[in-house]
Structure 1
């Protein structure tokens, strides 16, 4: 499906060989570059309604992460350092040596490593609706009455770690699984329109895509070690921590304050998917941060 800029023109869709894989990405707009990184179970199409708010001011790049969406299937390399290096090479290949990065969910974890490893390139970081492995991620899998009552027990992390069983149970049932997963994490469920679901299902039913997504989860214990090592040097660039008021709330900001020196915070009237639930307000938060208003 196409993603359009503010004038209704489709973004350019292309592929680039980077870091031993081949990424699909879209690019459009004008101005200083900003790269938007999606999470799970999503693709770069997740940013559809945010993109036209940004393209009057920025060149916007929306890649599909390694092995996901319309990027080529991949058998390995799903830790966040490798995923971050994919994006660093993509941006370099596009001719950008300085840019802003926005990440949501797993894309935020990748964005953190990108900023930590390339502080001379990443001007600003937006870290949205994510728990950083090594800084509270693991505790969210603990089963206890308080967490279950608060809706803070993330059951699927443990499920996804079991080799082959999730693939066996989800394959052929991608639509109801993705629909339920995203709906139960949303506040504005009506904003999760069928065209988004159609695109996610199209992609996650292609060979290798479901296993690639699960492999990102399965690398999270490795990520925890990588994140703790990266945090020994606090991020020097400004960070905007974005939380959905009905999802992670202030947790992204609390986590970023453990690993960065200049953290601002915004809470949006959404659940876990601000870019789909409240896209205009989400884009306004980004633009305010980029111009120094937040």
Structure 2
């Protein structure tokens, strides 16, 4: 499928913007984690829009200049839940489920980050009419965020890149995969789906993985075995990743890293003002992979007492950094 820039009619159907899926059982609980959260629902609403056959889910609310949030793996828009109320005091927040992930439905032709950036643009520009916004992206979502800022620089007011070494000339995909066992495992063809092939396996895999890259986890040389997430938070992620198509989409994010390496190497250097946030102890390893592609990193900070799950392990520090940066 060729992805042209297109207009509103080419990208989607405006009628889909406010209504939840009418018949799909897989998305019946799209608001399960927030349905009874009175304070959250005073500000934020779940919405949907169709972009080239993919029904994209997003959560929006607040007042002020637009701010877009892109999640990583194995998470969804919900990773931003703790920081969204603070951000919404100064911004109209849009927390997206990437195509094929979370409560978005349908599959793009590829999960390389350049393709996903085009779908994000189809939602933001053609469906929501956003011409200019601040962009915040974490983990593999930051792969999408970089591609977006590179391809559509006039639309990104400022960019926050969170805890994601960027595959490219400085960091070949093969070396990137060597950083952690899960990157190599998730990249394998068919094997992950065959081994993680029922809801119990999904729970065991994700709940075993979450502590490893948390503050004090084995990825940082520690011995932590407890999850940084509450049972409710874990259940929300499991609710979506138990859908076979979402689980597969998550693995595809890793299977496309070689294409990402080529696309990033060829991408235009981003001169948008950039804030770099990383886990405690990760800045020195991350920044060199970005130096040739993000030319205006104005601030680079390790989030205190935080592993990879920045927005959940230290929500206050993350929201403070984002607000201070986007207010300049």
Answer whether TM exceeds 0.5 for this pair: yes
> Contact 1:41 / 1:200 at 8 angstroms: preserved in 2?
yes
Change (3 A) 1:206 1:214: same
> Contact 1:2 / 1:11 at 8 angstroms: preserved in 2?
no
- Equivalent residue, structure 2, for 1:223: 260
Moved more, 72-81 or 104-113: 72-81
Structure 2: how far apart are the matches of 1:191 and 1:161? Answer: 25
Q: What is the CA distance between 1:274 and its match in structure 2?
A: 0.7
Greater Rg over alpha carbons, structure: 2
2:133 aligned with 1:94, yes or no? no
2:162 aligned with 1:128, yes or no? yes
TM superposition outliers: structure 1 runs of 4+ over 3 Å: 3-8, 188-191
SS at 1:191 equivalent: coil
Q: What is the CA distance between 1:5 and its match in structure 2?
A: 9.6
> Contact 1:24 / 1:70 at 8 angstroms: preserved in 2?
yes
> Contact 2:183 / 2:254 at 8 angstroms: preserved in 1?
yes
- Equivalent residue, structure 2, for 1:150: none
Q: What is the CA distance between 1:159 and its match in structure 2?
A: 1.4
Deviation sequence 1:113-161 (CA, Å, 0-9, x none)? 000000000111111011212232532433xxxxxxxxxx311222122
> Contact 1:5 / 1:28 at 8 angstroms: preserved in 2?
no
2:290 aligned with 1:256, yes or no? yes
1:36-185 to 2 correspondences below 5 Å:
36-74=69-107, 76-92=109-125, 93-134=127-168, 135-136=170-171, 137-142=173-178, 153-172=179-198, 173-185=201-213
Unaligned runs of 5+ in 1: 143-152
Aligned residue pairs total: 279
Q: What is the CA distance between 1:106 and its match in structure 2?
A: 0.5
Q: What is the CA distance between 1:75 and its match in structure 2?
A: 6.0
> Contact 1:65 / 1:71 at 8 angstroms: preserved in 2?
yes
1:235-250 to 2 correspondences below 5 Å:
235-246=270-281, 248-250=282-284
Q: What is the CA distance between 1:81 and its match in structure 2?
A: 0.7
- Equivalent residue, structure 2, for 1:148: none
Q: What is the CA distance between 1:8 and its match in structure 2?
A: 5.8
- Equivalent residue, structure 2, for 1:199: 236
Structure 1: how far apart are the matches of 2:237 and 2:117? Answer: 22
> Contact 2:165 / 2:290 at 8 angstroms: preserved in 1?
no
Q: What is the CA distance between 1:99 and its match in structure 2?
A: 0.5
Structure 2: how far apart are the matches of 1:237 and 1:252? Answer: 18
Structure 2: how far apart are the matches of 1:245 and 1:31? Answer: 31
> Contact 2:273 / 2:296 at 8 angstroms: preserved in 1?
yes
Q: What is the CA distance between 1:278 and its match in structure 2?
A: 0.4
Q: What is the CA distance between 1:267 and its match in structure 2?
A: 1.0
- Equivalent residue, structure 1, for 2:28: none
- Equivalent residue, structure 1, for 2:315: 279
Q: What is the CA distance between 1:14 and its match in structure 2?
A: 1.1
Structure 2: how far apart are the matches of 1:19 and 1:180? Answer: 36
